Amino acid sequence: MTITLHNTLTRKKEPFVPIDPANVRMYLCGPTVYDRAHLGNARPVLVFDVLYRLLRHTYGADHVTYVRNFTDVDDKINATALAHQQAGAPGTLEDLVAERTDETIAWYHADMDALGALRPDHEPRATEYIAQMVAMIDGLIKDGYAYENEGHVLFRVRKYSEYGALSGRSVDDMIAGARVEVAPYKEDPMDFVLWKPSSDDLPGWDSPWGRGRPGWHIECSAMAYELLGDRFDIHGGGNDLQFPHHENEIAQSKCAGHGFANVWLHNEMLQVEGKKMSKSLGNFFTVRDLLEDGVPGEVIRFVMLATHYRKPMDWTEKKREESSKTLMDWLHVLKKHGYTPKMVKQLKAEGQWSGDGELLGTLSNDLNTPGALARMHVLAKARTAEGLVPLAHALELLGLVADWSLVDLTPSQDVKMADWVPAVIDRLIEERGAARAAKNWGEADRLRDLLNSAGVQVTDIGGSATWAPGPDFDPAKLEGLT
């Protein structure tokens, strides 16, 4: 199965050809850890989790390396620690920074685990790779791509002629559109910080340029090089990181002589009333808020996957309701056809656990998750193993079911449903619908009572009805109706 991906660099959908199929390598810019992740932050995590799962499915679980970093040194983190100290928290600023970053990483893990995101193979913390950053910066200075001034080290943007290629804009256009900081230690306002001085109370490391800390961009370049090598396959992140973060990563890494990433993938933004959800705008709610409101992680995940990653999306109550209902319907269909955790295990052991070709093709087409979900609707309508095994397979592949033993698929009674049962129930429900449409209430009631007497639970949603075996399910009551 060929995977195609939309490469931001070429602005085209391209067949994905890994550098080494035995080790497909992917880097995603991770969070700056000073606060709970908001729902927008979960979008890249889920998009790249689906890609990670698809790559593992295609190339083998042991043949994919996924790196997602933690930015645990940053001015916002320092500001948060300072605010805590001013509010009376005990300890030095450095202690408070360490406490806050550790705590935020634990929150992040708990929240993303709840969304069914697999942990990446490596989750480097920037502060553990300072030596590699210093070495890279040192090389850039020696080769004339960077310069030191007043304890700062800056990258000479004009030295890299391809700067702007990712966003497709010229340096001058970017300066006009961006809030570039003019500073006395910069040769050019466009130059960006690789290293800056730290005051004694802030986290800092010794370097050839004095005690200081790295800029944000160099962190990703150094960690990606250290963990994925000179050239790797995929680099991802949100659209908002294209410029300046990703342009800067490319400039540094290329000028340091590295091949860097072949394919660049960017997810669109999660929005609130047409505006990007962000901490700075204050228009956010956290993943934890939703989980605490009782929205299951699987439902949050479903809502996210229902929109293609290159389209902006909103979180709405309606989407939450519909996603929840669909997911429950699918699980019920599986349940009433006897797809118990035991049976899933058996299917896997017997080599009968296989996906649907059309669905995999759709997903491989630039991660068309809404298309894959649409295909699952079709599969769920099937009453045979041909539809239901691929449905169950897809639920697992998309991370909507992590562990079958946690899903309540065990029928309340040991229902051994004969083939004719679902067909008869479907027919009775259809006849009941027709009677209701014809305002033939007597007949509609008779059919409802018949279904009730057999313990069939019917739910009417919109114009259609679904059913599930209730606790008193007794298909024998329907015998003779075939």
Cα angle for residues 116, 122, 125 (degrees, 5° grid)? 105
- The H or E element that residue 423 is part of is helix 420-437
C-alpha distances out from residue 293 to 171, 287, 322, 323, 408, Å: 46, 10, 17, 16, 21
Rounded to whole angstroms, how far apart are CA atoms 278 and 274?
12
List, in order, residues 6 or more apart from 42 with CB less than 8 Å away. 111, 112, 115, 287, 300, 304
Q: Is residue 240 a contact point for ligand AMP (CB under 6 A)? A: yes
277 binds, among ligand AMP, Zn ion, none (CB under 5 to 8 A by kind): ligand AMP
Instruction: Provide the 3-class DSSP secondary structure of residue 419.
Output: coil
* Residue 220, binding choice from Zn ion, ligand AMP, none, Cβ under 5 to 8 Å by partner class: Zn ion
Q: Does 29 bind Zn ion (CB under 5 A)?
A: yes
The yes or no reply on residue 304 touching ligand AMP (CB under 6 A) is no
What is the rounded CA–CA span in Å between residue 110 and residue 113? Answer: 5
Task: Give which of ligand AMP, Zn ion, none residue 51 binds (C-beta under 5 to 8 Å, depending on kind).
Answer: none
Query: Least Å distance between CB 103 and Zn ion?
Result: 22
Least distance (Å) from Zn ion to the CB of residue 242? 11
Ranked by CB distance to ligand AMP, the top (closest) residue is 238
Binding site partner of 276, from Zn ion, ligand AMP, none, Cβ cut-off 5-8 A by kind: ligand AMP
Token look-up 């998309």 returns 398
Q: Which does 41 bind (CB under 5 to 8 A by kind): ligand AMP, Zn ion, none?
A: ligand AMP
Q: Which of residues 283-322 bind Zn ion (CB under 5 A)?
A: none
Phi and psi of 6, rounded to 5°? -85, 115
Closest approach, Cβ 235 to Zn ion, in A, equals 8
Q: Which helix (H) or strand (E) element contains residue 234?
A: strand 231-238
- Scanning residues 206 to 245, which ones bind Zn ion (CB under 5 A)? 220
120 binds, among ligand AMP, Zn ion, none (CB under 5 to 8 A by kind): none
Sorted by sequence, the CB contacts under 8 Å of residue 351 that are 6+ apart come out as none
Which of ligand AMP, Zn ion, none interacts with 278 (beta carbon under 5 to 8 A by kind)?
ligand AMP
Query: Does residue 360 touch ligand AMP according to CB under 6 A?
Result: no
* Exposed/middle/buried for residue 181 (C-beta within 10 Å: 0-12, 13-18, 19+): exposed
Q: Which is nearer to ligand AMP, 190 or 269 (by Cβ)?
A: 269
Work out how close the CB of 38 gets to ligand AMP at its nearest, in angstroms, rounded to a whole number. Answer: 7
Judged by CB under 6 A, the residue of 265, 277, 392, 398 near ligand AMP is 277
Nearer to ligand AMP, 30 or 411 (CB): 30
Q: Which stretch binds ligand AMP (CB under 6 A): 80-88, 262-270, 340-348, 411-419?
A: 262-270
- The CA dihedral of 206, 209, 210, 212, to the nearest 10 degrees, is -70
Nearer to ligand AMP, 57 or 246 (CB): 246
Reading phi first (left if > 0) and then psi (alpha if -120 to 50, else beta), residue 367 is in left
SS3 of 43, please?
helix
Stretch that binds ligand AMP, among 36-44, 62-70, 157-165, 315-323 (CB under 6 A): 36-44
Interacting partner of 443 out of Zn ion, ligand AMP, none (Cβ under 5 to 8 A depending on kind):
none
For residue 261, the cross-strand partners are: 232
Rounded to a whole number, what is the distance in angstroms from the first to the last CA of the chain? 42
CB 451 within 8 A of CB 318: no
- Among 32, 167, 253, 323, contact with ligand AMP (rule: CB under 6 A): 32
Q: Which stretch binds ligand AMP (CB under 6 A): 88-96, 190-198, 233-241, 449-457?
A: 233-241
Picked from Zn ion, ligand AMP, none, the partner binding residue 193 (CB below 5 to 8 A depending on kind) is none
Interface pick for ligand AMP out of 186, 258, 276, 336 (rule CB under 6 A): 276
Query: Residue 297: CB partners within 8 Å, gap ≥ 6?
Result: 114, 115, 116, 291
Residues 6+ apart with CB under 8 A from 39: 270, 277, 284, 285, 286, 287, 290, 300, 315
Under rule CB under 6 A, residue 469 binds ligand AMP: no
Cβ proximity to Zn ion: between 227 and 428 the closer is 227
- Euclidean distance between CA atoms 92 and 391, whole angstroms: 54
The residue (of 167 and 207) whose beta carbon lies closer to ligand AMP is: 167
Of Zn ion, ligand AMP, none, which one does residue 31 interact with (CB within 5 to 8 Å by kind)? ligand AMP
Contact residues for ligand AMP, defined by CB under 6 A: 29, 31-32, 40-41, 43-44, 237-238, 240-241, 267, 269-270, 276-278
Contact residues for Zn ion, defined by CB under 5 A: 29, 220
